[in-house]
Structure 1
């Protein structure tokens, strides 16, 4: 099996970094905003499955999550941010 040339990897990495810096590629959401506006806010949902309530959405932990009821569509979760915030 042939391996990838290091120069190709370097070129692809430099091209990607350049396109991101020019705004031509999307930046991951976490890198785009440093402030978690939903942290600790009230969350409501159309339902929940077992031990995965809507409050898990705003608890700040990457280990927990909200899960909608099985077989129920559409599934939704909503967070009240309180006031309008300009970023």
Structure 2
């Protein structure tokens, strides 16, 4: 079993059917990521340049902490 506060990998087959959304901060420099919500409430994140690779999946608490850190300016490029 995967701890609740950790990210883990899933195969593309596990995330089929997700409505993917590209980050509003993505520019034209090919540094884009997409995220989508899984029915379990988890969030999947993938690289738009290589959608066939593994997708990172985060539980709701980890995703919320990440979004809050970005929003509050605790992470920089």
- Tell me the TM-score range normalised by the shorter chain: under 0.3
TM-score normalised by the chain length of structure 2 = 0.24
Q: Which has the higher helix share?
A: 1
Q: Which has the higher strand share?
A: 2
- Structure of higher CA gyration radius: 1
Q: Using CA pairs below 8 Å that are at least 6 residues apart, which structure has the higher relative contact order?
A: 2
